[in-house]
Amino acid sequence: MGGALGRSGRAAGAAASMLAHEIKNPLAGIKGAAQLLARKTDAGGERFTTLICAEVDRIATLIDQMEHFSRGQPIACTPINLYQPIHQAMETARARQFAGVRFAEDFDPSLPKVHGNHDAMVQILLNLVTNACEALGGRDDGVVRIATAYRHGLSIDNGDGRGRIALPIEVSVSDNGPGVPADIRGDLFDPFVTTKREGRGLGLALVAKLARDMGGTVQHLRDGEWTRFRVQLPVALKGQAA
């Protein structure tokens, strides 16, 4: 699994690097427009202009990171509270107002800090939540469930010489949509694999790349009527820089 995710991640990083320059220019314009709007809006509108600016900054940082990824440089990881990137990703998803989608949360409040990267986690969660919402296709009984849990016993060898690493922290995104077609499930995290008519097939490859670079992994499964993506991550160890 580690080798397959590695190949997917390298290809996704190269594609993101090629697009970096073209993406950064409109991002600067979007942020400038949001800052101008913030001067003329009320408190309710300021919430959304602040969110726009935060998302632009996060995407610009992510692009910088992906350029580093394509050159083989590691992602910077520190101990993070997992609920901060979850909150940011959910705020962004709710602002898009997906019709007919209800969000449900099932959180373990006692989770320890994760060894990870805040912006990378926001990107992972936003990709997974957006995919889940789009998979529901506007049905009026759609549910997207975000859950966290502490799982004992799971570990992975990423092939980086560190041996097997315990991955007890789980964050999952599930939806009650039709699921992933059987013919692409085995290639789901490869670049350019997509069921979307206008999709590019880079979202899940990027999710796999970012998860792996934080020392974790991502898995897909069909669980009854639910399509579930589980991101498994290591615990932040004592003594790691905050």
The string of DSSP codes covering 191-230 is: TT----TT--S-HHHHHHHHHHHTT-EEEEEEETTEEEEE
Reported as type and span, the H/E element at residue 186 is: none
Instruction: Walk along the chain (242 residues) and give the pLDDT tens digit of each residue.
Output: 455 555 555 555 556 556 676 777 788 888 888 888 888 888 778 888 888 988 888 788 777 666 654 555 668 899 999 999 999 999 988 888 888 899 999 999 999 999 999 999 999 999 999 999 988 977 788 999 999 999 987 777 766 666 788 899 999 999 998 888 777 767 777 766 555 544 445 678 888 888 988 989 999 999 888 999 999 999 997 766 55
Question: What's the number of domains the chain is made of?
Answer: 2
**Do both 139 and 225 map to the same domain?**
yes
20 domain residue, yes or no: yes
Residue where a domain stops, chosen among 38, 70, 102: 70
Question: pTM, whole model, 2 decimals?
Answer: 0.70
What is the extent of the structural domain holding 193? 78-233
179 domain residue, yes or no: yes
123 domain residue, yes or no: yes
196 domain residue, yes or no: yes
136 domain residue, yes or no: yes
